[in-house]
Amino acid sequence: MVKNIAVIRGDGIGPEIIKEALKVLDRVAEIFEHKFNYIDVDMGGCAIDKYGDPLPQAELDKCLASDSVLLGAVGGNKWNDVPGHMRPEKGLLRLRAGMGVYSNNRPAKIWPQLADASPLKKEIVDKGIDFIIVRELIGGIYFGEHKTVDGTATDVLVYSEAEIERIGRIGFETAQKRNKKLCSVEKSNVLDSSRLWKNVMHRLASEYPDVELTDMLVDNCAMQIVKNPSQFDVIVTENMFGDILSDEASQITGSIGMIPSSSLGATSCGLYEPIHGSAPDIAGLDVANPIGTILAAAMMLRYSFDMPTEADAIENAVSAFLDSGYRTADILSGDSTKKVGCSRCGDIIASFI
């Protein structure tokens, strides 16, 4: 199978971590007889330096013509003084809007080998943490009307049935590719928008009889994530709730460098990236952890390219890397003797596929 991947190396450690992800993808292509064509795209600070624009239209067009987009990281102190509309992060917002990605999917997975890094009690962690939060990305209170008049502030939360349905389908389809359990999170005991959310989700459930749908109020969900995270497989929720819950979930895994994410829309063309930033203070030192980016590539294979076996191969290789005692600097523990840099990390993971 041939797939065209737009590659945004970006700024800071972005080029380093992307290099290792491509190394792993090349190994997958070799083993499973695929062909991945990489189309380089300039976005962020590097694009400002080159074009005076964080994402020129011609670069965006390359992404739109691809089968999916793999992103490292953008931004850094170098561009702090540029006008607000020209900041590197504006390129990312333009990319999301241009691609029409309305679903942000962030896994919360703790690797058993790193269980001690979680702030949760051992008896909770030992039950396993492995779920995905599917967050609606371009609607809700963040995109409603905001105003302050005579000392009174108003923020409007709006969702249509169509907006709820399209994110709901992403939730059900994601659950179908995992353990077929979907938890819909809202605040239907208070909010009309949440009551509509709940009604639409239950209407959709009849189309996905293989998925078990449950409902949970958002405040209870926040408690359950730290009390009993092993109960969750896929959580689907609206924009603000998803923003808060996904940040909470990222902390219980103990390592931000290990977490990938995806953003999806109406097509299979998705945007895949690690959740961390560009870390300019360690750029070029070969100490960055590329595993979040490598796992983002695995998500791309699973959710955009329908290559679950290949995605499993990458995830199993990461597990083998950790089983063998290898650690990058950010996940180094006192009893680990196999400290490796960014490039060596990619080499070892690729060798385990």
- Strands 68-73 and 2-10 come out as parallel
- Across the range 198-218, mean pLDDT stands at 98
pLDDT at site 117:
84
**pLDDT tens profile 22-61:** 999 999 999 999 999 999 999 999 999 999 999 999 999 9
Catalytic residue among 247, 281, 306, 312: 247
Q: Are 296 and 274 in contact (CB under 8 A)?
A: yes
Q: Are 170 and 184 in contact (CB under 8 A)?
A: no
Active site residue 210: no
Please report which confidence band the pLDDT of residue 334 belongs to, taking 50, 70 and 90 as the band edges: low
Please report which confidence band the pLDDT of residue 335 belongs to, taking 50, 70 and 90 as the band edges: low
- Across the range 121-126, mean pLDDT stands at 94
**pLDDT tens profile 50-69:** 999 999 999 999 999 999 99
DSSP-derived 3-state class of residue 202: helix
Catalytic residue among 219, 306, 312, 323: 219
Q: Distance between CA atoms of 303 and 292, rounded to whole angstroms?
A: 16
Alpha-carbon distance values, 247 to 83, 232, 252, 255, 310 (Å) = 28, 16, 9, 12, 28
Active site residue 243: yes
pLDDT at site 322:
94
Q: Give the right CATH number for 1-110+257-353 from 3.30.365.10, 3.40.718.10, 3.30.1330.10, 3.10.20.740.
A: 3.40.718.10
pLDDT at site 73:
95
Beta bridge partner(s), residue 327? 339
How big is the chain by its Cα radius of gyration, in Å? 20
Active site residue 219: yes
Beta bridge partner(s), residue 214? 183
What is the CATH number assigned to the segment(s) 119-252? 3.40.718.10
**pLDDT tens profile 140-186:** 998 889 899 999 999 999 999 999 999 999 999 999 989 999 999 99
Per cent of the chain over pLDDT 70 is: 99
Catalytic residue among 11, 67, 233, 243: 243
User: Nearest-CA neighbor of 327 among 342, 311, 312?
Assistant: 342
Domain boundaries, the chain: 1-110+257-353, 119-252
Catalytic residue among 90, 187, 208, 272: 187
- Across the range 263-285, mean pLDDT stands at 93
Q: Are 301 and 32 in contact (CB under 8 A)?
A: no
Please report which confidence band the pLDDT of residue 336 belongs to, taking 50, 70 and 90 as the band edges: low
- Across the range 70-94, mean pLDDT stands at 89
**pLDDT tens profile 241-269:** 999 999 899 889 888 889 999 999 888 99
- Across the range 122-144, mean pLDDT stands at 93
Beta bridge partner(s), residue 345? none
DSSP-derived 3-state class of residue 7: strand
Catalytic residue among 109, 142, 177, 330: 142
Q: Which of 149-158, 271-280, 325-334 has the lowest mean pLDDT?
A: 325-334
Please report which confidence band the pLDDT of residue 220 belongs to, taking 50, 70 and 90 as the band edges: very high
Amino acid making up residue 234: V
Whole-number average pLDDT of the chain: 94
Q: Which pTM was predicted? A: 0.85
Q: Is the pLDDT assigned to residue 7 strictly greater than 60?
A: yes
Beta bridge partner(s), residue 149? 152
Backbone phi and psi for residue 19, each to the nearest 5 degrees, phi listed first = -55, -40
Active site residue 142: yes
pLDDT at site 143:
83
